[in-house]
Structure formats: C-alpha cells, structure tokens
Structure 1
Amino acid sequence: MSTASTAKLKEQFDAGLETRADFTIDQPLERYGTVDHAVWQQLYARQTALLEGRACDEFLAGVERIGLPSERVPCFDDVNAKLTPATGWRIVAVPGLVPDQVFFEHLANRRFPVTWWMRRPDQVDYLQEPDCFHDLFGHVPLLINPVFADYMHAYGRAALAANEAGALPLLARLYWYTVEFGLIRDAASSNGVKIYGAGIVSSKAETVYSQQSAAPNRLGFALERVMRTRYRIDTFQQTYFVIDDFAQLFRVAQTDFAPLLTQLANAPAYAAGDVLDGDRVITRGTRQGWHTSGDV
C-alpha cells in the first residue's frame, strides 16, 4: 500500500472504525458531512453532463439502473439492493487502497471494494488516490451489466493465480487498459470510440482527453499486446486500447491464463506509447506533451 493508504487506514483505527481482516468496514454514513455531499453532488452533475455522447450506452444505462443519488453520497446498502439481484455482485466499504491479494480475493468472490471517504473540495479536479466517487461512480455502474460483471469475476480469479505465480504486472496491465482506461468502438461517436474505463468516466480532464485529444494512440485491443504494455500513472495515457464490444472482454475472461503467463513471463515489455507493426491503429497519436520516461 502507498503511504497515503497507510495513513488513511490508521485514520480508521484512530476514529474507532473497525477494519476487518479482509480490510472491509461498515460504511460510516453518519460521518458524511455537508461538504462531502456537496462534493459528490458537484462531481455527479459535472460527469453525468460531460459523459452524454462520450460514455458507452452500457455505462450510462448502469448509472440509471442503479439509481445513484445526485445530491448525496450513496448508501452502499441501497446500491447493493439493485446490484446483487442483477449480477450477484455487491460493494463493500474499505478505507482506501487494499493489498493486491485482498483486492483480488474480493473480485473473485464478486465483491467490489469501494473507498468510503470523499475527496476534499480542493481535490475535485485531481486526486492521486481513489475515493468514493471514483470507486462508486466510476466502477459500479458496469457491474450491473452481466457480461462485464462476468469479466470482472473471471479477472479476479486469474489475478489471484498470477499473483501467486509472481506474474502480477501482466494482469495489472490488463486491468489498467480495460477496467480503468478502456475505450470501446461505437459508430455513433464522432471518432468511432466511446468511454467505459472508470479512470476516465470519473475524471473531467481524462474524459475530454481520451475522446478528443490528437496526442494519444488508440489501438485495437489484443490480449497479449495489452499484457506486455507499460502504462502511465502520473499523466494522461499515451495509448488507449479499444475493444470491439463487451463480448470481446467476455471471451478474454474465458482465457486459460496459466500457460499465457508462463509464455509471457520473460517477454520484454513495450513502452506505453509504442505503436507496433502488427497493431490495429485507430488513431496514431501526435505524441504532443508526452514524457519520455516514467512508464510503470
């Protein structure tokens, strides 16, 4: 965990919030104040307006089906009342980022960890660590979609195996380029792609950049290519991988990852901004504003 995550976890103990062995807590609804609800309301209004025509239909339908409140931080039990009957998933409250093994165990059991606390007003435009808005608004609406829900479940099981085999970076890249920063083909969009990744839909700046900027590459999704591609955590993405539809992710979820992890264990990684001869190039980036070092 990061230093910030460790500090946030200590805060839970200091505040008398019981953190269980699986890092879950009871959502402390009474601790949300006027400022917390106001920040949620501001972010919700901004992103729902911005995402019209930019986010994929499945994400927007998920927001509507779950019925997230626009004016206050949601009650997790209310979310689960809609989510669990639909796909068997439920959200659990956590202090913040949790250890990889714990996170994957939750996913493998159809539980999605959601950070309980809200960012401050001065962090509306940028927050280094995921908060409740990122986790809940960004991730949960697609978990009510059966195909995406099955992908996330299968991913959790595969990531557990990869973690035990010491091959976690390969699966981390898959999560990053799909769940967090994925794009999907859509002929209704002006440039043929729409957004579904949580790191994009929860961010004003990344929403606009991923859709409209000429700087990044947008490449057709290919599993091995994605698993060998490093990524950026300090700036906008240099490359986005574009799936054809969620059925493609479902097929990825059926992959026997064990031999693939063995095959790729010693394969060299590609830089975040590389374009290879075999890539399906949707748009080749201008590379404007790129940093030449710092890939993860």
Structure 2
Amino acid sequence: MEPVVYGQSTRPPRGDYARAAADYTCPQNTAYSAAEHDRYRRLYQRQSALVQAFACAAFIEALPCLGAQERIPDLQQINERLYPATRWELVAVPGLIPELPFFRLLARRKFPVTDWIRSPGEFDYIVEPDIFHDLFGHVPLLFDPVFADYVQRYGQGGLKAWELGACELLSRLYWYTIEFGLIRQGNGLRAYGAGILSSAGELPYAVQSPQPQRLPLQLARAMRTRYRIDSYQPTYFVIDSFRQLFDMTAADFTPIYEQLRGLPAWAADERVAGT
C-alpha cells in the first residue's frame, strides 16, 4: 500500500503503509509509550474542558463512550459500545488513505482511525489527522443514529462521485460538515465538526469569533467553496439539525455536479451575494 499526499504538500504523511491490507486497514499498533499515553491524556483533558461551552449536545452526551481518558484506547473496546449503538465499527489505518478505499469503508459503516499520535511539537497543531483527532473529534457523533447514517450516506455518495469524477466537489462537503460543521441549537451556535472539536484554538473561534462568515448550509455553495488546511476557516456552514443534514443528502447530487462542472471555485473567504 502507498500513502497518499495530503492537501498541496509533496510530503506523504507518516505511517507504516507496509502493514496495511488491500483495503488499507491494519491491526491497531497498541505499543504506545507512557509519554504517548500522557500526551493523549493532556489533549483529552484540554479539549473536554472546552466542549461544554462550544460543542453540540449530541457530542457532549456521547463523549464518555470513548472510555478511559488517561490513555490511548483500544479500538476494539470502543467497538463493543459503538456497534450495538449504531452498527458502526472503528478500524485502524496507518495514516491518510485514498478516496476510493475511504468511501468504501464509510459505506460499510467502518470508520478509519489513524493509530499513531502526534509528536510533542505538534501538540497545538497537526497538519494531518492522528488518533486523537479521529477518536475525540469524530467518534462520539457516530453514537448518534442520524449522524451515523449521514456518514454512511456520504460514503455511498462518494462511490458515485468517484465514477462521475466529482470527488473534489464532494470532499468540500465533507470538510464543511463532518470536519468543520456548525449547528444551531436552542442554546445557540455549537460545533459538530471533528476538525473544530479537536482543536483548542478553533473551537471557540468557530463558535464565537466575529471574523468568519457563517452561512446556512447549501450544497452547491459548500461544494464550490475551497477550504484552508493551514489556518482557521474563514467560512463555516450551519445546519439546524442532523435530520436536516441527512435529508439534504438524500437527493441525487448529479445535477449539482453538472451545474458546478467547469465553474471556477470560490476562495475559502469569498463572500458571494445571495448566499
């Protein structure tokens, strides 16, 4: 198996891809050092102190399902709670994986989790996802039945987008919902995207700062908008409920792909009249 290149970088992500199977999954490497367990504990402690004020209710409710906070969990132990709840399973991967295997795993309700943890120098920011981002950011909402169904639907849609040559458009929807989505609740704006929830700086920024634009989620608008991997997002898209998100993605995206094909993408910070 070969690693994939992340974003605009020419450097492939770290990870031992030689141990990956044909679908890019591998046994979790659980030989973590005491320092790595402590790094996970400190990351968890820092983020869990923020989520009460900034995370959506479903995330806060499900966070304890990750189990012990003081060490990197065994994925199979989480699966013992996750599978009965929503029929999802976590599978270990050595790092970022190509789009098609990623879509196939999601379509089968298998969520890929990178099994290494960031270095001490990356404590505040890491370019590519590690086990803390994948577990803390993504997994709690897989315990929510509606959101879990949306993630599977995204994977199924990805398989079709692959056939239509529209993966770049669909990847922007993933970014602006699963990674950097905001939701409006009775107690105000809250985060549900994993990239926000696992970031100590972007979590309060995304919810509170007056700087970014926050738009109601429109599929075509999100799919046409580039995103940033090297800074906080200048644009976020907001939903009213996970049911709204699930229902929006029930439609065939082919007309949207055809509408956007050949049109220039908008910059991440572009402000477009009427959106």
User: Structure 2 length as normaliser, TM-score?
Assistant: 0.93
Range moving further from structure 2, 110-119 or 252-261: 252-261
Which residue of 248, 254, 271 maps to 2:267?
271
Q: How far is 1:227 from its partner?
A: 1.1
Residue 20 of structure 1 is matched in structure 2 by 21
Q: Distance in 1 between matches of 2:212 and 2:13?
A: 33
Q: Distance in 1 between matches of 2:55 and 2:42?
A: 19
Residue 294 of structure 1 is matched in structure 2 by none
SS where residue 77 of structure 1 aligns?
A: helix
Q: Distance in 2 between matches of 1:205 and 1:229?
A: 23
- Structure 1 gaps, min length 5: 280-296
Residue 9 of structure 1 is matched in structure 2 by 16
Q: How far is 1:75 from its partner?
A: 0.6
Alpha carbon RMSD of aligned pairs, Å? 1.4
Q: Which amino acid aligns with 2:194?
A: A
Q: How far is 1:28 from its partner?
A: 2.0
SS where residue 231 of structure 1 aligns?
A: coil
Residue 68 of structure 1 is matched in structure 2 by 67
| Correspondence 1:199-278 to 2 at 5 A | 199-278=195-274
Residue 126 of structure 1 is matched in structure 2 by 125
Q: Distance in 1 between matches of 2:250 and 2:56?
A: 23
SS where residue 218 of structure 1 aligns?
A: strand
Q: Distance in 2 between matches of 1:54 and 1:145?
A: 18
How many residues of Structure 1 are paired with residues of Structure 2 in the alignment? 268
Q: Distance in 1 between matches of 2:262 and 2:184?
A: 32
SS where residue 16 of structure 2 aligns?
A: helix
Q: Which amino acid aligns with 2:94?
A: P
| Correspondence 1:72-221 to 2 at 5 A | 72-188=71-187, 192-221=188-217
Q: Distance in 2 between matches of 1:38 and 1:124?
A: 12
Where do 4+ consecutive residues of structure 1 move more than 6 Å? none
Q: How far is 1:6 from its partner?
A: 5.2
SS where residue 241 of structure 1 aligns?
A: strand
Q: How far is 1:248 from its partner?
A: 1.1
Q: Distance in 2 between matches of 1:6 and 1:222?
A: 32
SS where residue 21 of structure 1 aligns?
A: coil
Structure 1 residues 21, 9: closer, same or farther in 2, change over 3 A? same
Structure 1 residues 119, 109: closer, same or farther in 2, change over 3 A? same
Q: Which amino acid aligns with 2:113?
A: V
Q: How far is 1:90 from its partner?
A: 0.5
SS where residue 214 of structure 2 aligns?
A: strand
Q: How far is 1:7 from its partner?
A: 4.4
SS where residue 36 of structure 1 aligns?
A: helix
Deviations 1:206-226 (A, max 9, x none): 112112222111111111111
Residue 35 of structure 1 is matched in structure 2 by 35
User: Structure 1 length as normaliser, TM-score?
Assistant: 0.87
Structure 1 residues 113, 5: closer, same or farther in 2, change over 3 A? farther
- Structure 2 gaps, min length 5: none
